[in-house]
Structure 1
Amino acid sequence: MNDTTVTLVGNVATAVEYRDTATGGVARFRFAVTARRWDRERGLWSDGPTSFYTVSAWRSLGANLAASVSVGEPLVVHGRLRVREDEQDGRRTTFVDVAALAVGHDLSRGTAAFRRAARPVGADQGPGAQPGPGAPEEPGPGLVEAPARDPWAIAAEAAEGPAERLVTVP
């Protein structure tokens, strides 16, 4: 398969629209990516042109995206790029679409708290399908589920900086 994959960092430009279809649900939204460059002469960052992409996410990714994302939020989108041209009213228009494979909040610009989505048995799996990467393992010998921690407490600990450590050298 010779698909072009891209990773985009930007902001959600429109509300996420979610629809159920015969092949599974799909979420769509417009995504704005603005180039930023350091201007040495003025000594500050300047914004370049903004590019807009239509992002589509299918099945469980689309449902989770629709439940998790709002306009203006910073995201990282990874997916397959598709460029198409259309003629409308005698004018040729170019559309750039991304079929999302993974979407997440840009944690360099804020914090997020992850909650695993409850899935019905057999969801997103056809006959003979294997669990995908990151699928939860069945509890078994040696596996212990870690207790949930408050994300704000974790962020506060990180903000305090690393604890001093005493190292002894033999």
Structure 2
Amino acid sequence: MNETLVTVVGNVATAPETHVTATGVPMTRFRLATTARRWDAERGGWTDGSTSFFTVRAWRGLAGNVKESIGLGEPLVVQGRLRIRDEEKEGRRFLSAEIEAVAVGHDLTRGVARFTRGTAPSVVPRGDRGRQGEPAAPEPSLTAPVP
């Protein structure tokens, strides 16, 4: 099966919320807003285009790291699998775009960040298993401080 991988640059539009599924797998969800900007030669400046919103879902270890690392309004780069959902509510049809995150990071064109190795232990339950019952891969450990 072919999957559509996308990279989206935008701002965190909702505070990240973490839930644990019935099978004990953590998932963090937030909304990402991205606005196209174009140079307007007539006005001699940049103008904003329309804003698109994506629901981003991060699973397992990434879920904990996202919850501990990002906040409302922060600039991000998100890469993941794009899913378009077609839903009907109260007789009206809605389309929504979701990204199942593979990687999430701060957009360093708009600021600086410091990296700390490891997984946020507060939201990753013990015994978290990988897909199809396989043990989750161990997180890398760091024996020396990162400069």
TM-score > 0.5, shorter chain as reference: yes
Is the radius of gyration larger for structure 1 or structure 2?
Answer: 1
CA displacement, residues 51-79 of structure 1 (integer Å, 9 cap, x when unaligned) = 00100000000110001111000000000
TM-fit CA distance, 1:88: 1.0
Percent pairwise identity: 54
1:33, 1:138 → 2: CA distance?
Answer: 35
Q: 1:52 to 1:138 in 2, by over 3 A?
A: closer
* 1:16 aligned residue: 16
- Give secondary structure in 1 for the equivalent of 2:108: coil
Shift of 1:148: 3.4
Matching residue's letter, 1:78 = Q
Matched, 1:54 2:52: no
For residues 73 and 119 of structure 1, what CA distance do their matches in structure 2 show? 19
How is 1:74-113 mapped onto 2 (pairs within 5 angstroms)? 74-113=75-114
More strand by percentage: 2
Distance (whole Å) between structure 2 residues aligned to residue 97 and residue 106 of structure 1: 20
DSSP 3-state at the match of 2:64: helix
TM-score by length of 1: 0.72
Q: Give the Cα separation in 2 of the matches to 1:23 and 1:55.
A: 19
Give unmatched runs, 5+ long, in structure 1. Answer: 140-144, 150-170
* Aligned alpha-carbon RMSD (Å): 2.5
- Length-normalised TM-score, structure 2: 0.83
- Give aligned pairs, total: 139
Which residue is equivalent to 1:148? Answer: 146
Query: 1:108 aligns to what SS in structure 2?
Result: coil
CA distance in 2, matches of 1:116, 1:92: 43
Q: Which has the higher contact order (CA 8 A, sep 6+)?
A: 2
Separation (CA, whole Å) in 1 of partners of 2:20 and 2:146: 32
Output aligned runs, 1:61-76, within 5 Å.
61-76=62-77
On the 8 A contact 2:116/2:146 being kept in 1, the answer is no
CA distance in 2, matches of 1:43, 1:30: 32
Matched position secondary structure for 1:30: strand
- In 2 relative to 1, CA 63–122 (structure 1 residues): closer, same or farther, beyond 3 Å? same
Do the aligned residues in 1 keep the contact of 2:12 with 2:76 (CA within 8 Å)? Answer: yes
What is the rounded CA distance, in whole Å, between the counterparts of 2:28 and 2:75 in structure 1?
Answer: 17
Amino acid at match of 1:29: F
Structure 2's unaligned 5+ residue stretches are: none
